[in-house]
Chain A
Amino acid sequence: MLRDMRDKACIAGLGQTKQGKLPGLSADEIAIWAFKLALEDSGLRKEQIDGLMTQQSYGGAGDTLKIGRELGINPKIGTSVIATGAAGAAMVHYAAMVVNAGMANYVAVVYGTNQATNRNRFATGDPESASPFGMFNPGAFAAMNFRRRMALYGTTERQLGAVAVTQRKHAQMNPIAVLKDPLTIEDYLSSRYVIAPLHVYDFCHITDGGHCVIVTTPERARDLKQPPVIIMGMGRSDALQGLATPDEALMQRIQRQSATMVYEMSGVQPDDIDALYVQDAYTPAVLSALENYGFCREGEAGEFIQAGRIELGGELPVNLNGGQSSETYMVGWGHTADAIRQLRGACGPRQVKGAEIIQCTYSGGLFDHTLSTIFRRP
């Protein structure tokens, strides 16, 4: 049954606005800009878009009714899905199902935010159980995860630093990336703590920006402008119980269920993956994904990421866009966009030579919703 969905949907259009600070533009204006870019990229006309899925963003933006009105469309399906920071990836999955059910033919999934210009500090915490004790910012959960990882497996801050340092190297080859200053492991280790054991470079860099992808079937994509990027597999598992199931949620072991699903649907295994993109609101997410999706064994990710293994040219290049610590903080969208570009062979100096199959993994900052998508070249 899962295998029935293999290779049945694809990305036919990609829109990515300028990233960083976009003063003067509302989040919805940025989303609409991304939509126009994706239309242009795909060669589709606005009138052909019969599905619209919008991701809600900071400050109440991303309302489907408002964006639909501004786009001037009455699609068959116009909706929004809530799945914390993994909502964009979730909507791509639903779009893949919708186009295969025949309920719509071309589904645009859009996201726009002006969270940097509007200075969202991510200062909230659960008002009953967390804020009274000073626990603010979703980075707290990643810091808890990494502290426990240090205790259980002996992983060190120096080992974790390889994520931020590697991602910065990748960002330096990415024209879209916002942070490109050189970063060494010594810079990392001497940087300030924000929430120890996490340093400032472990945190995503808050940016404005917008993204849009257009999902359709490979048959429909055949006549369009771009070579389709095929969705081979989708995985999903949600740790809705939060702290009541701390290993599944905080240590992200719920990802193992998403892994089983995505590998069964796609028919590939970790060994087949040419590059991995991990939605990394905080760098420890990379370690969890490597272990739970089967690239290394539990407790070994700290060692696995050393000596260039996750760099361009290494055994498993990870986050070639620079990740959310260096490229842009787009709740996983930058990763999806870069995976698409890799499979179109359009990544310039950071192109993974001969990349055929790329995996993306996603999770919200609170480690609740967990998704993965495996893409391939047509």
Chain B
Amino acid sequence: MAGTYSKPLPQIDEVNRPFWEAARRRELYLQRCKDCRHVWYPAGTNCPKCLSTNFEWTAMSGRGTVWSFIVYHHCWHPGFQKDIPYNVAMIQLEEGPIVITNIVNVPNDSVKVGMPVKVVFEPATEQVTLFKFTPA
């Protein structure tokens, strides 16, 4: 599988590694501030609300709603050629942060802003599992 995956893989570094390790375990983990309880995404080195560096990686509910979504009819990367037209969505998680992802298991014209969705996981390679969303 690793040899055939042709889409860009996320750049994993020391800061976001716990996020991608959790995804590989099929869990959605974000950072939560232990001082002010703020939850944020993407990963950072401190709480963007109170600037505390006292945070923990915490399991999210995996539930959210579609904040907006778009459908690609033009191919900017050959790895996505056979997927066109494919959707990209912004999901607002129940805990607050917005993530960029794809909505799967539903035709593009059935996706609606405000639609409830839940997380699912799709292994891309042996090392990387992507998080996607599906109608709840």
**Chain B proximity of A210: nearest CB distance (Å):** 27
Please name 12 further chain A to chain B contacts, defined as beta carbons within 8 Å, in addition to the given A129-B100, A144-B69, A195-B73, sorted by A numbering.
Answer: A125-B8, A127-B10, A128-B16, A130-B88, A133-B100, A134-B80, A134-B83, A147-B68, A195-B70, A196-B85, A198-B70, A243-B90
Decide: A123 near B76, CB < 8 A? Known: A128-B10, A130-B100, A132-B7: yes
Decide: A133 near B101, CB < 8 A? Known: A197-B70, A244-B48: yes
Enumerate A126-145 residues with CB–CB distance to B below 8 Å. Answer: 126-137, 140, 143-145
Q: Can you list 10 A-B pairs, Cβ within 8 angstroms, ordered by A?
A: A132-B10, A143-B70, A148-B67, A148-B113, A195-B71, A196-B72, A197-B71, A246-B67, A246-B90, A246-B98
A250 on interface, CB distance cutoff 8 Å: yes
The answer for the CA separation of A93 and B42 in the assembled complex, in Å, is 32
A2 on interface, CB distance cutoff 8 Å: no
Which of chain B's residues have a CB closer than 8 A to the CB of A148? Answer: 67-68, 113
Interface residues of B toward A: which range? 35 or more
The answer for the CA separation of A243 and B16 in the assembled complex, in Å, is 17
**Chain B proximity of A135: nearest CB distance (Å):** 4
Which of chain A's residues have a CB closer than 8 A to the CB of B51? Answer: none
| Contact present for B42 and A121 (CB under 8 Å) | no
Decide: A131 near B8, CB < 8 A? Known: A244-B97, A244-B98: yes
B22 on interface, CB distance cutoff 8 Å: no
The answer for the CA separation of A129 and B98 in the assembled complex, in Å, is 11
Chain B positions within 8 Å of A, measured between CB atoms, are 7-11, 16, 40-42, 48, 67-74, 76-77, 80, 83, 85-86, 88, 90, 92, 97-102, 112-114, 124, 130
A58 on interface, CB distance cutoff 8 Å: no
**Chain A proximity of B86: nearest CB distance (Å):** 6
A82 on interface, CB distance cutoff 8 Å: no
| Contact present for B70 and A133 (CB under 8 Å) | no
- Chain A, interface SS category: mixed
**Chain A proximity of B20: nearest CB distance (Å):** 10
Q: B72 is contacted by which of A152, A195, A246 (Cβ under 8 Å)?
A: A195
Chain A positions within 8 Å of B, measured between CB atoms, are 121, 123, 125-137, 140, 143-145, 147-148, 150-152, 192-198, 241, 243-244, 246, 250
Q: B99 is contacted by which of A121, A129, A145, A250 (Cβ under 8 Å)?
A: A129
Task: List the A residue with the shortest CB-CB distance to B92.
Answer: A246
Nearest 10 Cβ contacts at the A-B interface: A151-B113, A136-B76, A196-B71, A143-B70, A131-B8, A148-B68, A123-B76, A144-B68, A193-B73, A135-B88
Which of chain A's residues have a CB closer than 8 A to the CB of B114? Answer: 151
Which of chain A's residues have a CB closer than 8 A to the CB of B72? Answer: 134, 195-196
| Contact present for B42 and A134 (CB under 8 Å) | no
Name the residue among B70, B83, B88, B124 with the largest chain A CB count within 10 angstroms: B70
**Chain B proximity of A119: nearest CB distance (Å):** 13
Q: A244 is contacted by which of B16, B40, B100 (Cβ under 8 Å)?
A: B40
The answer for the CA separation of A140 and B113 in the assembled complex, in Å, is 16
| Contact present for B85 and A129 (CB under 8 Å) | no
**Chain B proximity of A238: nearest CB distance (Å):** 15
| Contact present for A147 and B100 (CB under 8 Å) | no
Which of chain B's residues have a CB closer than 8 A to the CB of A192? Answer: 73
Which of chain B's residues have a CB closer than 8 A to the CB of A140? Answer: 70, 88
| Contact present for B69 and A194 (CB under 8 Å) | no
The answer for the CA separation of A192 and B73 in the assembled complex, in Å, is 8
